[in-house]
Amino acid sequence: MNTQVEDPLLKCLVIFTKLHNKPYSAEALIEGLPVANGLGNVELFSTEGSKSLFSRAARRAGFTSTLVEKSLNDISPLVLPCILILKGRKACILDSFSADKKQAKIIYPDVETSEKWIDVDTLSREYLGYSFYLKKEFVAEDRTKQYLINKKTSHWFWGTLKLSTNIYRDVIIASIVINFFVLASPLFTMNVYDRVVPNNATETLWVLAVGILVIFVIDLLIKLTRAYFLEIAGKKSDVIMSSMIFEKVLDMKMAFRPKSIGSFANNLKEFDTIRSFFTSSTISALVDLPFTIIFLVVIYYIAGTIVIVPIVISFIIIIYMLFIKEPLQKSIESTYEAAAVKNGILIETLGGIETVKTMSGSGLAQWNWEEATGEIANRSLKSKILTNSIGLVTSFLVQINTVVVVLIGVYMIKEMELTMGGLIASVILSSRAIAPMGQVVGLIASYEQTKTAYDTIENIMKLPVERPDGKKFVRRESIRGDIEFNNVKFTYPEAQKSALNGVSFSIKAGEKVGIVGKNGSGKTTIEKLILGLYEPDDGSILIDGIDINQIDPVDLRKSIGYVPQDVVLFNGTVKENIVYKHPSVDDVSILKAAKISATDEFVSTHPLGFDMPVFERGEGLSGGQKQSIAIARAFLLDSPIIVLDEPTTSLDNSTEQKIKNLLNENLQGKTTILVTHKSSLLSLVDRLIVLDNGRVILDGKRDVVLEKLQGNVRGEKL
């Protein structure tokens, strides 16, 4: 097993936030940063992705970071303090230099409370030559924001594209050059027919052939280079946007979570449509459009009035574009809605396939699927017909253009107003002048799909999040465990009935409290509010006397060990599921948590031990084994608050009794909230709160409350 990894860069960043009177915990800085499979922890000090991960962590604390390569003597005092990278995977904070710059004041992350003066020469021998400069980002106060004019923030889409401005600028320049090269082919053909063939000038023919061949080779190289750099820009934007979108989804407030996971997943998938739209074909079509005028000017110079033909054809294409735009847009939006519903049915059915089979619900599931498939087929029929018609109509008009140009050209040749080479060049150029218009019309379908997908993702990116940028949370080194509800009212989104209606109680640190009541009385809702998953509609929730909304959700949940009623496990191993909350925890803590939860009993009998495989949603494990892993998760860290929601429902009697004894030993000194229907577990608590219809109807010592409820008669369930 891996042991805990201490990241010196992360420690330095935590100290750095304290130096600027803006303290952040390590967990708050790295929450949501990508963890490589198997590494078990976020490493800022890494040879792969170190710069990007450190920058993302620093940005959360309100700092911009720059990795520079400089000797100690070249570091200006104006940029201090900064973080130095040292040999042996170490780092320190360089705070200042002495007046003669022979000594440096540094802070080692392992002893953050003490500053140390050290000789610059000694420090230079340990210094790798790389350092992080950090600058505090300016954030306007709320009272001054109203006076700011045109305050701009980086947009998830346009801001990301802006990062590749230089690449897109070069691509546009390359496209302009490519369009000028387009003139080479018709001019070559015209000169061959008009000058080479009549005069039998073979030497001129070879000169022209070599010249046009060189142009074609350069054209090919420019096109390949353009395609390469567009892919580079696309890859960069894809990675950044995908990360931003998924980060937003993970930080989304639970009150705004989608009702249909499948539909929501389908909407996220539409990001691929946005990405594919910004390809070389789109860029070239937009750049080609202005060159239509140049091609028309050349046609007029060569063939005079023939230029009217491609102009008229272009206007017909524009009229057709305007004609189909609105119905195409409505059809695409309708198709997207149907696709989301279809995907929702798919995800829901696959997630509950066991229930479908045991309930003999295959026929109903098949009916729903076929209905959704038929609906999306009907809705997409119109958009497919309109989309296909674009290419067909454009191709038809190009053919008409060719015929009309040839007809007029023949009469002009007869009147000695045009040469044979001029006619051929006009046919080529007129088709080339119309092509951009056809490409733009072809892009309409893609644009409408992209616009719909963009609007969908944009709505997701606008959803409220738990940790908005700029919000200043109250930082606590530790949480004691005092919990207070003051007249809390809460209703779930779109629910008709309140889940809690004026709930008030106070729990002291270290107190063990049971919450009982009928189904739907609000027991689990209280747990979710304590975990910060939802915000009360009215009233307040205080943790250690601080409003829960002022505490960083990461710090709050780090201090709470939670066993949900419905345990969700992820594909991986038993160990990976236990340490899901804190991947870098040491082995001693894992073994201790496994013993408390009796997970060690079934793990020890498996040949792979803690590497015992766990499949998606915990498939392959019994309900009791899943619950044991959930209890192990709750006790992995020494959390001051433990919340248990029916922790032994799926356990057999002997295992339940064993875990009950272990819990009794390990809950000492911890604020404990136990939600249960089993009276056998109530010996774990000293106090009972009884809920009914979202209200507290009884609150007092356990035995007193039980006497009032049962008249001293114990039952199996309350």
Confidence of residue 642 (pLDDT cuts 50, 70, 90): very high
Lowest mean pLDDT among 4-18, 30-44, 330-344, 489-503: 30-44
- Residue 35's pLDDT is 62
CATH of domain 159-461: 1.20.1560.10
- Helix, strand and coil content of the chain, in percent to the nearest 5, comes to 60, 15, 25
Instruction: Say if residue 273's pLDDT is above 80.
Output: no
Average pLDDT, the chain: 81
- Residue 672's pLDDT is 92
Instruction: Say if residue 623's pLDDT is above 90.
Output: no
Per residue in 279-322, pLDDT (tens digit) is: 656 766 777 777 788 888 888 888 888 889 988 988 888 888 88
Exposure string for 153-163, b = 16+ CB within 10 A, e = fewer: eeebbeebbee
Are the beta carbons of 138 and 64 closer than 8 angstroms?
A: no
Per residue in 540-582, pLDDT (tens digit) is: 999 998 999 888 888 888 889 999 888 888 888 888 888 887 7
- Compute the distance between CA of residue 531 and CA of residue 527 in angstroms, rounded to an integer: 6
Q: For residue 613, give the H/E element and its range.
A: strand 613-614
Other C-beta atoms closer than 10 Å to the C-beta of 448 total 22
Residues in Cβ contact with 332 at an 8 Å cutoff, skipping those fewer than 6 apart = 383, 445, 448, 449, 452
Other C-beta atoms closer than 10 Å to the C-beta of 701 total 12
Q: How far is CA 201 from the centre of its chain?
A: 65
- Residue spans of the domains in the chain: they are 8-151, 159-461, 483-710
- Compute the distance between CA of residue 82 and CA of residue 94 in angstroms, rounded to an integer: 5
CATH for the 483-710 domain, from 1.10.1060.10, 3.40.50.300, 3.30.1330.10, 3.40.50.620? 3.40.50.300
Exposure string for 541-551, b = 16+ CB within 10 A, e = fewer: bbbbebebeeb
Q: For residue 667, give the H/E element and its range.
A: none
* Runs of H (alpha helix) within 506-652: 523-530, 553-558, 574-578, 587-596, 599-604, 623-634
The reply to whether omega before 258 is within 30° of 0 (cis) is no
Are the beta carbons of 427 and 408 closer than 8 angstroms?
A: no
Average pLDDT of span 38-63: 65
Per residue in 522-540, pLDDT (tens digit) is: 889 999 999 988 999 999 9
Instruction: Say if residue 471's pLDDT is above 90.
Output: no
Lowest mean pLDDT among 70-84, 136-150, 316-330, 404-418: 136-150
Residues in Cβ contact with 485 at an 8 Å cutoff, skipping those fewer than 6 apart = 503, 504, 505, 506, 526, 529, 539, 540, 541
- Residue 483's pLDDT is 93
Lowest mean pLDDT among 10-14, 253-257, 297-301, 480-484: 253-257
Please state whether beta strands 90-97 and 103-107 pair in parallel, antiparallel, or not at all (unpaired): antiparallel
Angle of helix 202-251 versus helix 165-182 axis, rounded to 10: 150
Average pLDDT of span 326-335: 81
- Residue 476's pLDDT is 73
Confidence of residue 3 (pLDDT cuts 50, 70, 90): very low
- Compute the distance between CA of residue 713 and CA of residue 717 in angstroms, rounded to an integer: 11
- Across 230-239, 247-256, 371-380, 685-694, which has the greatest mean pLDDT? 685-694
- Compute the distance between CA of residue 361 and CA of residue 650 in angstroms, rounded to an integer: 26
Instruction: Say if residue 673's pLDDT is above 50.
Output: yes
Calculate what percentage of the chain has a pLDDT beyond 70. Answer: 90
Are the beta carbons of 250 and 244 closer than 8 angstroms?
A: no
Q: In what order do the strands lie in the sheet with 687-692?
A: 560-563, 641-645, 671-675, 512-517, 687-692, 695-701
Task: Reduce the secondary structure of 201-223 to three states and give it as a string.
Answer: CHHHHHHHHHHHHHHHHHHHHHH
- Residue 44's pLDDT is 64
Lowest mean pLDDT among 116-125, 253-262, 519-528, 544-553: 253-262
- Compute the distance between CA of residue 184 and CA of residue 194 in angstroms, rounded to an integer: 15
Assess whether the region 8-151 and the region 483-710 belong to the same CATH fold: no
- Residue 39's pLDDT is 45
Other C-beta atoms closer than 10 Å to the C-beta of 217 total 10
CATH for the 8-151 domain, from 3.90.70.10, 3.30.420.40, 3.40.30.10, 3.40.640.10? 3.90.70.10
Pair of tokens at residue 36: 């490589």
